[in-house]
Each structure stands twice: as C-alpha cells, then as structure tokens.
Amino acid sequence: MHNLLLSNYAIDIFMPIAKWVSVGVIATLIVIGLLVFLLKREKFLKYVKYALFGLLIYLLATGIAGLILEIAKSFNPNYVEENYMDRQAVTTYIFIPVTCLLVLFMATAIITAVVSKKSAPENIKANTKKAIAICGIVDLCALVGAGVLLAIYFEKVKEWYTTLNQPVLYISAGLVIIAIIVLAFILDDNDKSLDTRCLSLAGITVAMSFGLSYVKIFEMPQGGSVTLFSLLPIMIFSFIYGTKKGVFVCFIYGILQAIQDPWLVHPAQFLLDYPVAFSAIGLTGVFAKLKSFKSIPQISFLLGGIVAGAIRFLSHVLSGVFAFASTYAGDVDSWLYSLGYNSFVFIDLAIVLAIGVIVFSSKSFMRELEKTTNK
C-alpha cells in the first residue's frame, strides 16, 4: 500500500475527488440553509453556526489528508528527480523544521487559551500577555532556526540557481517585505487585542483556507492555482483584526502553501512566492476602520482585497521575471511572460471578492460578527 501511494502520486488522485466532494458539501449546506431560512427563519443563525463548525471539521480533515499525501509524494524518487530536489535535504532542512514551527504556533494558541481559562478574572489579561510573550520568544527562535536551515538547504543546492540574477532577486524580495510591513503598521488602527478569541479565529480561518486550497479549479504548471475562494477565511480574519495580525496569520498560511506545493529554485524566490506573497493578503483590512465606509463594509472589504491582491501579484511577478523567465519564457520578454503567467491571481481574487462582497452585504452576518468579536 505504501509503495502504491508513492508510485501513483496519490495526491493527484485525491485532488479532483476533494474538489468535487467539497463542492457538493458546500452546495448542500447552502441549499439546506436556504430551506431553513425560508421555512424556519428563527433557526437560521443556529443552523449557520452548526454548518460552519461542520465545514471546519471537514476542511481540516481535507487539509491534513492532503498534506500527508503531498509529503508522501515528495518522498517519491521520481518526483524528486522531476523537480531537481534532494529528497533527504528537503526532508531535513524544510519539511521537519517547518512542521515543527507550525506545531509550535498551534501550541502557542492552545497554551494561551488554557492560561486564559484557568486564570482568575483579575489576572486574565496579565497572564495571557505573559504566556503570549514567552511562547512568542520560543516561536521567534524556531522561526529563525527554520530560516537558517532553509538557507543551508539552498546553499547545498546552489548550483541550481547560479545563473540567476541573485542580487536583483534579493533586492526585490526585500523591497516587497519592507512595503508589506510598513503598510501593515502604518494603516493598522484596529484596537482588537490579541486574546484567545483572536488566536482561535486565526487557527480556524487558516485551517479553513488550507482545506479549501485543495479544491482547485485549475493549476498552473510551475506553481500557483485558482481555488474555490480559499483565501476568503483569512481575508475575513484580516478585515476583523487588522493588518498587523492579518499579515502574521497570512504569513503562516504562506508557509503551509510552501509545504503543499513546493517550487523552490532560489531563497528569494521561495520568499516571494510563498510567505511574502500570501502575507500581502493580510492587508485586506486596510480600509476596515475608515468612517466613510462604516455603513458599507462590503466596499472596504472589496478595496482592501484589491490592494492585497495587487501586492501579491507584484510579488509573484518579480519571482517570475528574475527566477523563472530564464528557464520557461523562451523568446517571450521576461516581464510579459511573468505578467501573463501570474494573471491567474486576478481570477482567484475575483472569485474571492465576489463572494466576500455578498457575505459582507449581509446585515445578519455583520451583526453576528460584531457579537462574536466583541464578547
């Protein structure tokens, strides 16, 4: 059975099944929701809560199953050869440290929740801050360690990318990172604190987005895909809790994407296509607190999503120009190649924004959102 999974790329069989089952599950929940709304409107909100919880469990199971099969695929010698990857090096320097990093992030959320629940009412805030600070230091050390191991991995395989314009790649990645950080801090006027509710919602939205990312409408040959609104949950989180927290949560999601669909040709390319590109999605909340948009949250979500999507697109384009064009563009100008290839981002974004505008146009959704986040 083990050899069968590896030799047949079980993830490639799993993906279309996951797509159509997920579409069926979501469609069924929507149809039942419409029936409940029309026949027993007083029970509609209760149904929505149970439906979302059930959807979360389903998407979490889908994401975990997909991740396990992706890792199994990466151990296949044929796949390693196709992608010019050293299997042992990938396992040692990428999969293990990144998995440990994600486990630590999950542990931080759990520890913080336990500390908050067990503390006396007058000490909850102080104890929670202390737990977050201690766990945050451990997480930061783990993040630095994972970064060092990733650098070692790329040093071991540097012959792959000696022909690339490395200084420009590093400068491009650095400039986009600085732009995202500056925008996140300057434009964040959200006053919601980093409490257990925030951490719980962060975990829930990342899990839902990751599960939905396996529902791919179509996939590009060198990485990238159009999914069934997979970015919507983390965009909603960013809208609620602001750009600083949103960028951090989307950064974690970007790391998960690197494990799910790794196309690694250069350290700066890794940053531009994964953690940096998806961190940009955390800027969705840039207009969330503007008074002029208070009565029309769907417009502020739409505009914030466009800003976030544009910066994500820029990050992918820079990666395409300086890391992939020399191999795949042929006679086409590198900028035209990259702009054309990465235009899938706008299709993905359009789907998310269309559904997001509908969601944020719902007055009952906004009321429940306010109640949940202000408890």
DSSP 240-253: HH-HHHHHHHHHHH
Which of 9-13, 56-60, 166-170, 255-259 has the highest mean predicted lDDT (pLDDT)?
56-60
Give CA 359 to chain center in angstroms. 20
Last residue of a domain, one of 132, 156, 180: 156
Count the residues in the chain: 375
Q: Are 160 and 314 in contact (CB under 8 A)?
A: no
The residue with tokens 């502020």 is 300
Q: Are 215 and 66 in contact (CB under 8 A)?
A: no
pLDDT mean over 195-209: 82
Shared-domain flag, residues 186 and 151: no
Shared-domain flag, residues 171 and 247: yes
Per-residue pLDDT at 141 exceeds 50: yes
Shared-domain flag, residues 25 and 113: no
CATH number of the domain residue 236 falls in = 1.10.1760.20
Shared-domain flag, residues 257 and 138: no
pLDDT band at 5 (very low <50, low <70, confident <90, very high): very low
Q: Are 241 and 203 in contact (CB under 8 A)?
A: no
- Give tens-digit pLDDT for 42-96: 888 888 888 888 888 888 888 888 878 877 776 666 655 555 556 667 777 877 7
Residue of 232, 231, 227 whose CA lies nearest to 214? 227
- Give tens-digit pLDDT for 22-56: 889 989 998 998 898 888 888 888 888 888 888 88
Shared-domain flag, residues 327 and 232: yes
Number of folded domains that form the chain: 3
pLDDT band at 303 (very low <50, low <70, confident <90, very high): very high
**Predicted local distance difference test score (pLDDT) of residue 336:** 92
Q: Are 256 and 206 in contact (CB under 8 A)?
A: yes
Q: How many CB atoms lie within 10 A of CB 272?
A: 25
pLDDT band at 284 (very low <50, low <70, confident <90, very high): very high
| More confident call, 177 vs 75 | 177
Last residue of a domain, one of 141, 156, 171: 156
pLDDT mean over 97-121: 80
Q: Mean pLDDT score of the chain, rounded to an integer?
A: 82
Provide Rg for the chain, Cα atoms.
21
pTM of the prediction?
Answer: 0.83
| More confident call, 343 vs 64 | 343
pLDDT mean over 314-325: 88
Shared-domain flag, residues 139 and 42: no
d(CA 350, CA 309): 9
Extract the tokens encoding 103.
Answer: 């486990």
Cα-Cα end-to-end distance for the chain: 49
pLDDT band at 371 (very low <50, low <70, confident <90, very high): low
pLDDT band at 194 (very low <50, low <70, confident <90, very high): low
Shared-domain flag, residues 79 and 93: no
d(CA 342, CA 314): 9
Q: Domain containing 194: what range?
A: 158-375
Shared-domain flag, residues 287 and 163: yes
Per-residue pLDDT at 202 exceeds 70: yes
